[in-house]
């Protein structure tokens, strides 16, 4: 059966100009790899909407777009979500905040070295890769989460215990498309 993926658009408004930059590229990469996607603004995601999909990706936002931070309760469906889930940048911050972590100041713009320190189905074996960062904030590691990459207070990637719920701070649509394809194949 073909896996269907729901892309949560975390931008401040539905159908914003930023969706072309932070949501559409994810859809294009996945659909070209054979995984049908649907985009839904995060304020419109419900348990009923999620029921029709096999996986979920929470996409990133523009550098100045922090509206999602004041709407963490809107992500109530994360609590019982038992499907593979990937939070990218803002999406990782939301997952962290929802499960008891914190969103912290950590600006980064550009390509940086990322140290993968723990093996996982998403990122593979420990090694160094280069990733594209675009954020003013990072996220701390919530209790019960495993650090997959990065050694700072706010990790580059994490996983919720052994569940397939992941967060990555860098944008895989730039130079790391394999991460999206790997997630879709989990």
Partner 1 sequence: MKLGVLFSGGKDSVFACWRAREKNDIACLITVVSQNADSYMFHTPNIRCTRLQAEAMEIPLLSWPTRGIKELELEDLMGSMAAARDQYGIQGVVTGAIESVYQAVRVQRICRCLDLWCFNPLWQINQIDYLRQLLSDGFRVIISGVYAYPFEASWLGKELTEERIQSLARLQEKYRINPSGEGGELETFVLDGPLFKRKIEILKASQSYANYRGNFVIEEMRLVEK
> What's CA 54's distance to the chain center, in Å?
16
Active site residue 41: no
The single residue among 6, 7, 8, 18 that binds partner 1, judged by CB under 8 A, is 18
- Is residue 175 within 8 Å of 131, Cβ to Cβ? yes
In the shown chain, the binding pattern of residues 97 to 136 toward partner 1, with x for contact by CB under 8 A and - for none, equals ----------x-xxx--------------------x-x-x
The count of residues in the chain is: 186
The stretch near partner 1 (CB under 8 A) out of 23-31, 79-87, 92-100, 161-169 is: 23-31
Beta-carbon neighbour count of residue 57 at 10 Å?
26
What CA–CA distances, in Å, run from 40 to 31, 51, 65, 159?
Answer: 16, 13, 17, 23
Choice among 37, 40, 59, 89 that is catalytic = 89
Active site residue 161: no
Active site residue 3: no
- Is residue 59 within 8 Å of 26, Cβ to Cβ? yes
Please give the positions annotated as active site.
89, 171, 173
Residues that bind partner 1 (CB under 8 A): 15-18, 20-21, 24-25, 28-29, 32, 62-65, 107, 109-111, 132, 134, 136, 173-175
């Amino acid at each position: 059966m073909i896996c269907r993926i729901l892309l949560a658009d975390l931008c401040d408004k539905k159908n914003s100009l930023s969706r072309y930059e932070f949501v559409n590229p994810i859809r294009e990469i996945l659909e070209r790899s054979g995984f049908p996607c649907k985009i839904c603004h995060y304020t419109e995601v419900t348990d009923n909407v999620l029921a029709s999909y096999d996986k979920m990706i929470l996409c990133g936002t523009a550098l100045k777009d922090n509206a999602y931070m004041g709407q963490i309760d809107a992500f109530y469906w994360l609590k019982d979500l038992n499907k593979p889930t990937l939070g990218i940048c803002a999406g990782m911050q939301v997952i962290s905040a929802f499960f008891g972590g914190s969103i912290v100041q950590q600006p980064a713009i550009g390509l940086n070295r990322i140290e993968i320190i723990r093996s996982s189905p998403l990122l593979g074996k420990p090694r160094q890769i280069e990733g594209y960062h675009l954020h003013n904030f990072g996220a701390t590691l919530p209790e019960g989460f495993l650090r997959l990459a990065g050694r700072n207070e706010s990790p580059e990637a994490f996983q919720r215990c052994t569940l397939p719920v992941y967060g990555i701070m860098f944008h895989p649509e730039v130079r790391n498309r394999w991460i999206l394809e790997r997630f879709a194949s989990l």
